[in-house]
Structure 1
């Protein structure tokens, strides 16, 4: 009925159709995988013995200690995001830069970067920054497109700045060290913040009326009192970030152990600000449970899909299609980035990481592309999934907390310049690989922090990695 070569593209198309219809991703992946597995067995295109590896794969997911870093970092971020730390940071930093045109926008970007490093999730950062800074910027007469754009963009920085959850997942899927992935992301993170700040500076010069300074009557006196207030808000958070990242970079702790330390440190930080309460901890635990459950179910569904897909020689189909692209490495990178950019209209970064990355990584490795650099590049690209209209998740989060007076069209138009800046960073990382590899060469060497167990099934299937 079906030729052997048509099954992988049909399976891939079926997955896309289910997701466009709107079925839950985890169950769509599992259902498509099992359906085509049974169809392949019935038509003789799939060896039923491949399914024997499924229990081992699922057990490997549940017992993977590296993935424990996700709930730890999520709990750390959820606790700090709810304990009022962001309000303290933004209020002090806003007063510090507020007397300048665009000063509040600069404060939002800087605080967004710090908050992103301690929350690890875009949703938490965008919602926190929106609730705190949107009313203030509206009160002082900021252009609404500039306001919504800078708030959404300050939240998406979270995806790239270590200890980002995206980098943990990418490291796991690429079979690389989380520490190396964090080191590789340092350069692009700095570049992204610099590009955002340069845009605000240019806008303050060309259109100062769109970002007026804080009125004199609303300013605090400049002096050591204000500086101490800003430092009191920043230094404990920065110390916690450096403790978490430093132990990973120097091999003193695995990402899971560092995440556990970060979770304890977040509770200590909340207690230091006299805001550690049982309702706060309970809310943070509920958020952590929700996100972690979603990740595990998506990973199990993608494992079912990828097992059947590989058993039908889907990996060879992807490899032959990608390897035949004109332009070699550059042609492959251009195609992949365009593909990821458009795929991100419909899929969350977890879904892209669990479904697409395992299919692209072997091709990238065969073309001689460094997988750490490749992973960081895709992470930069996937930032756009949160910003581009009309499906950007950051825009949805912002729309949810914005008052009715803020039009959706203003949120969408405000996001476009920031999407273009994110695309500029993608081009910079492709044209200047040292922006990633420099920190890998200069940084401390870290031993691999996850164990890969290889179970070969037969010659037609690459070793399975748990």
Structure 2
């Protein structure tokens, strides 16, 4: 067999292994080892695996993963998310469907601290949904707003998916973070417009009764708002201010943010030795799983490069009738389809080793291509049957009367808003690239 045929069989083999339930990292390592051994020999395959393990994980940059994960977990346990929601609830209390918009803005700010969609979905399903249902919103709409806005965690910096993409595409993490700001704001605004349109055109979807009027809580005084805002603003200034001000590199910004989050958690007495140990263990588990997947994806990428599959696919897409934007459409649809079945990071690690060489040959800006990838991947968090954010909300709510199907229905308008935003980013690339390329 030719190397291209071997590489193609390896890709098909990986799909079969995933379908059979094998962990994705192990599946990628297995097909990569067998593929290299078939193209060259067992000795080369063993040496390449050792080289990949050394090259892919020794970089100083990878320390950013556990630091941002730890910061996100500390912020979650210190109830900064609830304070963020309270502040925006007070500021938007007179706006139609104001609690829904407050949830979106609170999620956007929370995303700029944590960078993990699952954390946002967990926190706001416990904070925002009970408040919204108490004020007369339907559970379907309340959970849909939380599910939709939780995806901002992987787009607005700092973002774990942006870090993974930067590593695979060999782009600057700082530039990828900058590239997420414009699309993140666009997506937040699209969600707010969606909420306003639903509140005016389909009140039965938003409110429990069409004549419902939100009851108003006692207003929070300015001092209380300031007290709740200080921890949020402080962390944003430490992490993003230090990073974009040139004082800190991404790893140092992660360390400063984790330390700041630890100080906040200790000051609020929300952290004891047992819970701190649990957070460290959870941080280690998440970090090891991410780094193992990166290692496997690096080996998979090198095997594909050796086989010549990306080169052949680039010629097929770019010289035939499909063309560069035909490839881009196919790529985005494939990501959304895979999002119905597997998690975000796994989608990127499987597809990017194949797609990046084609995108580069097509002349696409790889930072813009990365933003499109992350937005398309995030759509998969809201689509059945996998819909990870939806199931996180269901498990966090622990409400037997709440059906998974209701959450999917509530999230559907936000899926449409994400697709419109994706089309706008494709049509106007500077939304993603302007800040990053300054």
Shared fold (TM-score greater than 0.5)?
yes
The one-character-per-residue Cα deviations of 1:93-134 (angstroms, maximum 9, x if unpaired) are: 324434543111111111111112212111111011111222
The one-character-per-residue Cα deviations of 1:403-431 (angstroms, maximum 9, x if unpaired) are: 01111221121121111111111100000
1:97-136 to 2 correspondences below 5 Å? 97-136=92-131
Alignment partner of 1:159 is 2:157: no
User: What count of residue pairs does the alignment treat as equivalent?
Assistant: 432
Shift of 1:337: 1.2
The one-character-per-residue Cα deviations of 1:11-49 (angstroms, maximum 9, x if unpaired) are: 1111111112211111111122223334445xxxx6853
For the residues of structure 2 that align with 1:278 and 1:63, how far apart are their CA atoms?
31
- The answer to whether the Cα contact below 8 Å between 1:102 and 1:213 also exists between their aligned partners in 2 is no
Residue 370 of structure 1, aligned match among 362, 365, 373: 365
1:114-263 to 2 correspondences below 5 Å? 114-208=109-203, 210-211=206-207, 212-216=212-216, 219-221=217-219, 225-263=220-258
Match of 2:402 in 1: 406
Shift of 1:382: 1.1
For the residues of structure 1 that align with 2:180 and 2:85, how far apart are their CA atoms?
25
Give the secondary-structure state (helix, strand or coil) at the position aligned to 2:247: coil
For the residues of structure 1 that align with 2:223 and 2:101, how far apart are their CA atoms?
19
Match of 1:446 in 2: none
For the residues of structure 1 that align with 2:91 and 2:180, how far apart are their CA atoms?
28
- The answer to whether the Cα contact below 8 Å between 1:158 and 1:164 also exists between their aligned partners in 2 is yes
For the residues of structure 1 that align with 2:350 and 2:385, how far apart are their CA atoms?
23
Change (3 A) 1:65 1:198: same
Aligned alpha-carbon RMSD (Å): 2.1
Residue 330 of structure 1, aligned match among 325, 329, 336: 325
For the residues of structure 2 that align with 1:324 and 1:350, how far apart are their CA atoms?
30
TM-score (norm 1): 0.87
For the residues of structure 2 that align with 1:393 and 1:425, how far apart are their CA atoms?
21
Give the secondary-structure state (helix, strand or coil) at the position aligned to 1:386: coil
1:52-91 to 2 correspondences below 5 Å? 52-91=47-86
Comparing 170-179 and 349-358, the one that deviates more? 349-358
- The answer to whether the Cα contact below 8 Å between 1:168 and 1:178 also exists between their aligned partners in 2 is yes
- Which aligned runs of 4 or more in structure 1 are off by greater than 4 angstroms? none
For the residues of structure 1 that align with 2:358 and 2:50, how far apart are their CA atoms?
27
For the residues of structure 1 that align with 2:320 and 2:240, how far apart are their CA atoms?
39
Change (3 A) 1:180 1:104: same
For the residues of structure 1 that align with 2:413 and 2:320, how far apart are their CA atoms?
31
The one-character-per-residue Cα deviations of 1:27-73 (angstroms, maximum 9, x if unpaired) are: 111122223334445xxxx6853542321221122211111101000
TM-score (norm 2): 0.92
Match of 2:20 in 1: 21
Shift of 1:3: 4.6
For the residues of structure 2 that align with 1:4 and 1:326, how far apart are their CA atoms?
25
Give the secondary-structure state (helix, strand or coil) at the position aligned to 1:439: coil
The one-character-per-residue Cα deviations of 1:303-327 (angstroms, maximum 9, x if unpaired) are: 3333333222223233233324535
The one-character-per-residue Cα deviations of 1:359-417 (angstroms, maximum 9, x if unpaired) are: 21122122211111111111111111211122111011112123011112211211211
- The answer to whether the Cα contact below 8 Å between 1:220 and 1:226 also exists between their aligned partners in 2 is no
- The answer to whether the Cα contact below 8 Å between 1:79 and 1:266 also exists between their aligned partners in 2 is yes
Change (3 A) 1:230 1:214: farther
Change (3 A) 1:365 1:308: closer
The one-character-per-residue Cα deviations of 1:279-335 (angstroms, maximum 9, x if unpaired) are: 342232122111101112212222333333322222323323332453533222212
- The answer to whether the Cα contact below 8 Å between 1:344 and 1:352 also exists between their aligned partners in 2 is yes
Give the secondary-structure state (helix, strand or coil) at the position aligned to 1:340: helix
The one-character-per-residue Cα deviations of 1:169-215 (angstroms, maximum 9, x if unpaired) are: 11111111111111111110110010111111222222446345532
Shift of 1:441: 4.2
The one-character-per-residue Cα deviations of 1:247-295 (angstroms, maximum 9, x if unpaired) are: 2224322211111111111112223434343234223212211110111
- The answer to whether the Cα contact below 8 Å between 2:77 and 2:265 also exists between their aligned partners in 1 is no
Comparing 152-161 and 4-13, the one that deviates more? 4-13
Give the secondary-structure state (helix, strand or coil) at the position aligned to 2:221: helix
Alignment partner of 1:432 is 2:414: no
Give the secondary-structure state (helix, strand or coil) at the position aligned to 1:134: helix
For the residues of structure 1 that align with 2:299 and 2:432, how far apart are their CA atoms?
33
Comparing 179-188 and 56-65, the one that deviates more? 56-65
For the residues of structure 1 that align with 2:295 and 2:433, how far apart are their CA atoms?
32
Match of 1:34 in 2: 33
- The answer to whether the Cα contact below 8 Å between 2:239 and 2:256 also exists between their aligned partners in 1 is yes
For the residues of structure 1 that align with 2:197 and 2:226, how far apart are their CA atoms?
27
Residue 356 of structure 2, aligned match among 357, 361, 365: 361
